[in-house]
Structure 1
Amino acid sequence: MTYSATLPDTLDLAAIRARHTLLLLARLWQGNRARVDLARELGLSRSAISSIVTELMDARLVQEVGQRGGGQVGRRATLLALNGRAVYLLAVDLGASHMRVDLLDLHCTTIASRTTPHDILCGPAITYARLTGLAQEVLAEAGVPREQVAGVGAGVPGPVDYATGLVVQPPNMPGWDGENVMAGLEAALGLPTRVDNDANLGALAEARFGAHRGVPDLIYVKAAHGIGAGVLLGGRLHRGVRGGAGEIGHISINESGPVGRSGNPGSLESYAAAQVLLDSAEARRAAGAPTRLPQPLTLADLIAAAGTDPLARTLWAEAGHHVGVAISTALNLFNPSAVIIGGRLSQAGEVFLQAIRDTALSRTMRINADRARIDLSTLGADASVLGAGAMLLDHLFTPAGLRHLYRVAASVRAPPPTPPAAGPSESAPHLPFSFGGMS
């Protein structure tokens, strides 16, 4: 086949326009700009930019927000902004012992939030019912109708088949194996839903909102009741063939060590997961180790005493060492520029972090260690909901997602705008809009 034979006969002008519209929205998501700025940055004519902007303003997705200040000579340019309140997102953070639902705008700013203790062992049915209640509460507080929500993003503390939403043999979620969380939440909430592992969402959040935002190669380690990692390579989340990449907690750091929840001997979770630390603290106290830790001991107690109690300090230093061993493997495999430690265990602070750094960097090849930063997350408990928002934006800022954004934004007024047409290679999905199977 000759090269010319592979070229289409005509240019798909509708698809090109949709791509330009998405590029423009992405620029406005980053910050306010004038039409002249957008024309220069995107390499388009002023008339092309004006046409796209008019369409987006008709759809309520873009609005004018005044004129640019400063020492501009002549007529000052009118600034444009993404209308973050045209469409909303629901972010779900499902943990081993809590659940949280946030209503976000298109900038991923929280408008309303609800968090409640929840045992994941209650199972899917009870979990969906409680999440539905929290979702109704945040929508009512914000005065936002469900029709103005573009979708739901959810993080779960276990392995998820990203394409289907199926949970696959989760070590810390008995009773959930084979559960289709994506379908379950869509049925419960009546909204298109996307589901991923919570550590993957943490990586997305760090890349877009964290102290290392914009870094194309980073690893986010969520250390809590379980330990997982989200791996960002070349600016894209590396999920693997099915979505199971990043299960750092099940790496064997001692092939002769104790058997962890996954059944593998000497896994990282066998040494450094939350319950292991609590059990170890009680065992060492019983053996006579000096400590002022209270009884009964909670994880919050252990975290609060990390820098003051001798037993707590020892336990956190040992846990950091074990995490550092696993991170050295990740550094040598992927050569990221940053490793960010998040999750509940990261609240132990400097004692935990310094042990991770010392061990990881001393065990890593110099070419992989020299430019690697290992830091605590600055996002705290917001990482999962911000990551859920980022995941939804990655789907909505696509040609199919753009059409969905137009429809949702139009739900609060009539008549609806005409969305950009799809090209032959990007045909519109059947309604309602579905995130299923998109990458």
Structure 2
Amino acid sequence: MKYEAITTSTLVEPPLDIDARKRLKQQLRQAERWNRSKAFLLVVPLLLFVGITFVMPIIEMLHRSVYDPLVADSLPRTVAALKQWDRQQLPEEAIYAVLAEELVSLQEQHELSKVAGRLNSEYSGMRSLLSKSARRLSRKDTITRLIDTGSVRTAMIDIDQRWSDIAPWAAIKNLSSRYTLSYYLAALDMRYDENGEISAQPEQRQIYKTLLLKTFAISALITALCLILGYPLAHLLATLPESRSNLLMIMVLLPFWTSLLVRTTSWIVLLQTEGVINDVLIHLGLISERLRMIHNMFGTVIAMTHILLPFMVLPLYSVMKNISPSYMRAARSLGAKPGYAFIHIYLPQTLPGIGAGAILTFILSIGFYITPALVGGRSGQMISNFIAYHMQTSLNWGLAAALGGILLAMVLLLYSVYNRLVGINNLKVG
């Protein structure tokens, strides 16, 4: 049988010319661009959803926390006239006349209460001062007569002696800009003083700084309690046989299937003065007088710890489940005592779960609203309750946005610290 000789040249394809290589590379780039475009189009709905429901509200909140056009729009002539005022002495007669005319105009348009309320937050008593002055100046063409005689300043001081003070005028000038940091200063118990300098609020008006520190302290305490209670529970779930572990995991997840309001109401039933816990303690003879465990800080901490405990257990469990028991057995076989082996071998491997559970629990706790409002009462409330108050009752959305912006900044700071110490790539949440 004869075989034809096959030379090497018949097996090797001829090399492509330069133009063919360029066309091939171009086709490959086009194919890659098309694949990336298809992948991007698939996630466009998700990006739109996240942008509309999450990113845009945050941007709007941050914008509202620094945007305050009410005084500039309501008193434009007064604001323009005060630009050259040096804050060293009372304004000139012409500025008094301009303000008097604008106050009367706002009174007739029923818009005075808005600007008066905003100025009152900057200078206490401004609401009554503006309302009283506008009411007195609007009688029988008083403004025209006073302007003609050049006695507007004297008349306004006669109406209220506070017009002879620089403070009301400084308050108007401090809020004359459309963009201001006054909301953030108020959220930190600070303000612009009569000279336009940043100073502390009067002691009787300082509430937010203490409330912020209280919120972070409560959140840290709840996070610590969840870690103390959740760590042994997660270890038990990770080491038990799968059949028993699954049953206990159902018990851990059971609160997620119950409404937050229902769980909070249940704690009210348990903790109230005539509640179940007090009845049991009295029946057992452990106490002689009923304990006050609700509408205070104790009730807030207990209820929130119970509600947030699963958020600590799940990240810990996901990490512990992947730790081989052979590490502990090897340490014991080498002579290490159980406590030493746990601290030096097992505990360091669970740090990603501890970090993830701690940051998740802490962030959730600083924004809690329903539980502190129902269980904590007045003394157990947190900063989120005051944010809701300014949004719903006082309608001071700028201050509410500033308080929310401070919380957001603290969360981002906490996130950066976690990323530096543990690494966001090690985040495991179950």
TM-score over 0.5 (shorter chain):
no
More helix by share: 2
Name the TM tier (shorter chain).
Answer: under 0.3
Which structure would you say has the larger Rg?
2
TM-score, structure 2 normalization: 0.21
More strand by share: 1
